[in-house]
Structure 1
């Protein structure tokens, strides 16, 4: 007895098997791709343009303008925007962007102070260590920054404790035996403190042999009443306060408009990237922060230019004239 096979069923079964094998093959070609996400990065400055359309060059500290700009347009990379709070901070506190003039002396010098904590060599009288504190921003406003030092037995190894109130930096040095604060630890603590770093930065000054003496104990045998306070001074540069700061034709343009005509002088523009001074977009990303990592901040941008407007006629004063009988005239000169 013969059994008739259902060819349609066989054909369907073969097709299903074939499709199943193809599906397996297709699945074999699928790969799990690396998860890549677009990192948020801070604003990047593309250019600075005055109201006449001229660009300020980033790499030319000697560039000169013969016409005083009424406003400057800061153009950043696309998709950047800034908040009203940031605009206000620039206008009122020069936070984010600061424009300074040299006050006619042709140079910029921030407020500074140095101290050796009274530690000197008994034989030579030379300082055993020297630390310099420099204002983070230019301007006479920062001549009054003060550092007040105290010491305390903290019972453990610890960096100095720092507290900032307005323009006063209160520093408590560690007086724990065998864990006395060193010069290097003081510099590290100041430069790593966000609030203190917005006011000053600290550095060790090397001696004539190039040694910074970073391990020098600055607590033991030191009378802090003779050291504290350390007050910064020496700055004479003038910060230019804008009359208006706001958005330009697009969200990535920031306009700084001057309240008064700028005089002949040397000017410097600072766009800050670090700490509480940093220019930030609406997402809070810091200027020039390209890796979304606050532990590796970007670099500040500094642009210099000079205004040489030439002589101006401010008034015309007529000279007195006396007519004589023969109609000749005489000009009286003082």
Structure 2
């Protein structure tokens, strides 16, 4: 009987040791997996931009507007970084177009005014494009231009009535006041005579009008320099010529 008890105790002790060893191996595997995951996460995180310092003012903040164009911008990344000079081509500086905003598609047209007026159409939502089909028709004396929209296609019919053809100002007012185009596009008289009659040329000469590109332009710097020690986390961008204010 004593031998059987001793044998059972040894068996239980052996199983306990094996279970402990198995649990230890599992813990070690989990630790290795976590270490590898942390290393991959560290490798996946690139340089973190801390701030941008122009030579003309304090640090830039999101949405800030500068009234004086800088000659130089200093990009500062987190202290742990040593920027590779071969990667600085990834920094791109873009200037807004004439509409003063980024990524909003716009187009300019005289709407058949024989060069007497210029109207700019601008999409209200960045990245959203439209096709504007323009036609003419006698809508009656004093009638406003007809406007409708289907998806991303806008139809505009200019009044060709001899006594009251649609003028540039009337078209701008009609587009900006149209419930169908609310939040879609806006119109602006860029130049010329607001009273100039539109639709004086065949519509196929100025229609369709495509709002599928913007006026943003990329600025090519004169030099892009990585800082010397201990400022390897800085990238200095110098412009080759004065930027417009």
Q: Which has the higher helix share?
A: 2
Band the TM-score falls in, shorter-chain normalisation = 0.3 to 0.5
TM-score (norm 1): 0.35
TM-score (norm 2): 0.47
